[in-house]
Amino acid sequence: MTLFQHGGLRPKGVRRLSAVITAGVMAVAAVLAAPRPAVADTPWLSVSDDGYVAISIPAAYIEANAGPVSQLAVEGNFGPSFAWAEYGLTRRGDIWWGALGPLKPGLYSYQVTGDDTKVLKDPTNSTAVASKPLWSTFLVRGDSARLLADAPQGQGGKVETLTYRVKKEERSALVWTPPGYAAKGGKPYPVLFLRSGDGRSATDWLDLGRARQILDNLSVQGSMEPMVVVISDGRGPDDGKELKDLRKAVADDYRVLRDPAHQAIAGVAEGGSQALRAALTHPNEFGYVGSFSGLLTDGAGRPDARAINHGLKLLRLYTGNVTDPAYNATVRLTKALDRSGVRYEFDGVNPDGGANWNAWQENLIDFVPRLFRNVPGHGPSAGHGRLKGEFHPPRPGTTPTPFVSEDGFVTFETTTDFTDAEHVTVWANDAPGGSWLRVPMSRDGDRWRVTIGPLEPWFYYYQWIVDRVSVKDTSNPTKVTSEPNWSTFFIPGERARLLSDVPAGRGGKVESLTYASTVANQDRTALVWTPPGYDAKRAEPYPVLYLQHGSGQSYTDWVEMGRAKQILDHQFLDGKLVPMVVVMGNGNVPDFTKELLDNIVPAARARFNISGDPSRQALAGLSMGGVQTLNVLKAYPGRFAYVAAFSAWFGDGAGVDVAAINNGTKMLRLYVGDQTDFVQPFFMGTLTTLNDLGIRYEFDGVTPGPHGWDVWQKNLIDLAPRLFRR
């Protein structure tokens, strides 16, 4: 099926599916479009134990509360490095539908947006973000997120509000007190002042940072010293005055120690900069300082290294990867501190986090256990890397896009054609498993730009969405014939080796085959891959695989999007492939079986040295092409000894000659994507049908990924070496 059927919205200006769709596809579409009851209290989002998110939003609710919309998206921190991104939903009858995942364990926030501007809160999710009233949250559980879950009831600390004054302005802070804290009696507690950054609220530390859960769980585990934690937003023209007044109010109202050795300060972004300034300019006020993505770049002038080193027990710096604005700032700060002789610790570069709460949660988890006690380890967190110097993509307009760094960070940049646009995103297969997300771009002069990543080595495709209209990146010379707005790029690496080009001159050849179609009443074209060393006069004809595309696609897609040439070239050179010819025909006809048997196969045999023996012929296809393949199997069992279907379905078993299929088929192998592949329920029904009929088949198991090329490339990689070996 075309991409717009399985994971994305159909932006204005995108061409419709081909009118020529098989009856099987139409039947499935009818089932998917069947009206479903809109139950008001049914959750819009549900999360499975393994991190898959299923989305089902009643269209009636959207229209009643936002008016008619042509597009609906769930926006959230679903992107690479937990970046904010838009996941487009598909309208199916009375429901806007989608499935995304598997998401990494962690806390996710989201809102529902129609036509880029009509924003709604999910009324079926009771969670709230005080500073963002339209946001909701959900937790994907997992071992790496165990400290983000609620502590056992009754075992955690308490959070209350402290009111204080700065000059004539009344301010408030949130105060977490540990389990067993009593306002009177006993020893006083050390205190951590935890700051939020500009544009963020103190409540964000609870709603998005999960500070309460983190502190509760660390306390229950005995992994931190009992302490009081004061959370404030730090806003105001005089941070120093505000902090002084806050400290006094805390000392007046809570049983805390007042000496610097028992006071700590940390913050995120600008809050981290405030913490750094306090440490470097007033080194005798705090014994422990943490900067989470702090933006201080100059080392606060010329710091007094002797006073700082004497007064500070810990100065620890944290930064995300190059998508974090603090990355370059941290490079400059560490150099300044090194020059000045200031002692500090660096947690290392978080490779999978940017400037967001998911990264700052990890920072808090690392920082708090280091406070007010001696700890054995002072190096980076596990898996964190070193600073490699500042990151600077090429200046706007100086290079075609995308620009791909060695570490898999990708910078997209538009031309100057969209200076008056209001909303520009890059839509790409960069979500888990190869699903499609739209990452918002930012204005950069007269262009729009964004850096995302790190992306794993693989083959990627993308397009701009400019004010809801699909647009090709004209700076990228790559093309997709059947979908002209897509462009492609490749990130090399061992994981993507089979999708990369082989050395020049060592691969097979792809040639065009023109044939007369008696079904379409016109000349049509197929692409044919022949292996290295192909001999047109070889005594023994080559075995042949007929490989079909999906609906909305054409004969060019297996080469341009499926990377069939690269896959086959590598597997041949690796010695894993029986030398064969692969014919990629055009399946966009009302009677594919007739087209294949009367037109494509005879034309291929007339032009190439290939076998007509059923035992030396294979047929495979994806989605619509998989349905067509299985229809040929039912109508002409034994005509192709090897049969495979990717993300397809069998239909009913009426009139099927089971014995002929089993006797004439050496291998029937089936593939499907995960929960994000909308065909999966129909595919699972296919397995039941085949079992009931007694048809022998192989099921490769679920291929991680959606109804898209990331899955089908993996399917071909698995299938091709299995052919013609029995």
Q: What is the DSSP string of 660-684?
A: HHHHH-SEEEEEEE-TTSTTHHHHH
Q: How far apart are CA 478 and CA 484, in angstroms?
A: 10
In the chain, how many domains are there? 4
Mean pLDDT across 252-273:
95
Average pLDDT score, the chain: 92
Structure tokens at 292: 């989470």
* Within-domain flag for 525: yes
On whether both 53 and 194 belong to a single domain, the answer is: no
State the Cα–Cα distance between residues 354 and 351, nearest whole angstrom: 8
Taking 70 as the threshold, does the pLDDT of residue 244 lie above it? yes
- What's the pLDDT score for residue 22? 36
In a domain, 25, yes or no: no
User: In terms of domains, do 346 and 473 share one?
Assistant: no
Split at pLDDT 50, 70, 90, the class of 300 is: low
CB atoms within 10 A of CB 15: 14
Per-residue confidence (pLDDT) for residue 702, from 0 to 100: 97
Separation of alpha carbons 546 and 399, rounded Å: 40
Q: What pLDDT does residue 568 have?
A: 98
Rounded to whole angstroms, the Cα distance separating 416 from 394 reads 16
630 with 608, same domain?
yes
In angstroms, what CA-CA distances link 230 with 96, 173, 251, 264? 42, 7, 11, 10
Q: What per-residue confidence (pLDDT) applies to 299?
A: 56
Check residue 298 and give its pLDDT: 64
Whether 440 and 578 map to the same domain: the answer is no
The first and second tokens of residue 718, run together, are: 């698995």
Residue 301 has pLDDT above 90, yes or no: no
Question: pLDDT class for 205, splitting at 50, 70, 90?
Answer: very high
**Residue 377 belongs to a domain:** no
Our CA dihedral for 625, 627, 628, 629, rounded to 10 degrees, sits at: 90
Angle 76-81-87 from CA coordinates, rounded to 5°: 30
Sheet containing 442-444: give its strands across: 403-404, 410-413, 447-452, 442-444
Task: Output the pTM of the full model.
Answer: 0.91
pLDDT tens-digit profile of 271-289?
999 999 888 988 889 999 9
Residue 565 covered by a domain: yes
Task: Looking at the structure, tell me whether residues 538 and 464 fall in a common domain.
Answer: no
Predicted pLDDT at 100 = 97
User: Which residues form the domain of 424?
Assistant: 403-491
Owner of token pair 């002042």: 193
Q: How large a percentage of the chain has pLDDT more than 90?
A: 86
The two structure tokens encoding residue 344? 């500090």
Average pLDDT over residues 336-362: 95
CATH label of the domain that carries residue 451: 2.60.40.10
Co-location of 93 and 194 in the same domain: no
**Which tokens go with 230?**
């004061």
> Is residue 423 pLDDT above 90, yes or no?
yes
pLDDT of residue 283: 86
Mean pLDDT of 703-718: 98
The residue from 79, 111, 141 where one domain ends is 141
Q: How far is residue 600's CA from residue 639's CA, in Å, rounded to a whole number?
A: 14
Strand 469-471 to 410-413 pairing: unpaired
Are both 633 and 567 inside the same structural domain? yes
- How many angstroms separate the CA atoms of 646 and 56, rounded? 26
Distance CA(224)–CA(595), nearest Å, equals 71
Confidence of residue 241 (pLDDT cuts 50, 70, 90): confident
Domain end among 466, 491, 516: 491
The answer on 99 and 236 residing in a single domain is no
Q: Name which of 231-245, 323-337, 557-571 the model is least confident about.
A: 231-245
Within-domain flag for 662: yes
Pair 369, 375: CB distance under 8 Å: yes
Condensed to tens digits (0 to 9), the pLDDT of residues 35-67 reads: 343 445 799 999 999 999 999 999 999 999 999
The alpha helices in 162-256, defined as continuous H runs, are 204-207, 211-221, 239-253
pLDDT at 661 over 50: yes
CATH number of the domain encompassing residue 626: 3.40.50.1820
The answer to whether 256 and 310 have CB atoms below 8 angstroms apart is no
Same domain, 115 and 153: no
Torsion over CA: 477, 483, 485, 490 (sign)? negative
Summarize pLDDT for 104-118 with one digit per residue, the tens.
Answer: 999 999 999 999 999
pLDDT at 233: 87
683 occurs within a structural domain: yes
Q: Is 439 found in the same domain as 510?
A: no
Among 40-49, 204-213, 318-327, 534-543, where is mean pLDDT lowest?
A: 40-49
Of 110, 141, 172, the residue that ends a domain is 141
327, part of any domain: yes
Q: Are 628 and 510 members of one domain? A: yes
Residues 334 and 411 in one domain: no
Q: Which two tokens stand for residue 111?
A: 């809102």
The answer to the question of residue 7 being in a domain is no
Q: How sure is the predictor about 303, in pLDDT bands with cuts at 50, 70 and 90?
A: confident
Cβ–Cβ under 8 Å, residues 715 and 674:
no
Beta sheet of 667-673, edge-to-edge order: 509-517, 522-530, 581-584, 544-548, 617-622, 642-646, 667-673, 698-703
Range name among 197-201, 462-466, 558-562, 703-707 with the lowest pLDDT average: 197-201
SS3 633: helix
More confident residue, 197 or 432: 432
pLDDT (0 to 100) of residue 41: 72
pLDDT digits (tens, 9 = 90+) for 485-527: 999 999 999 999 999 999 999 999 999 999 999 999 999 999 9
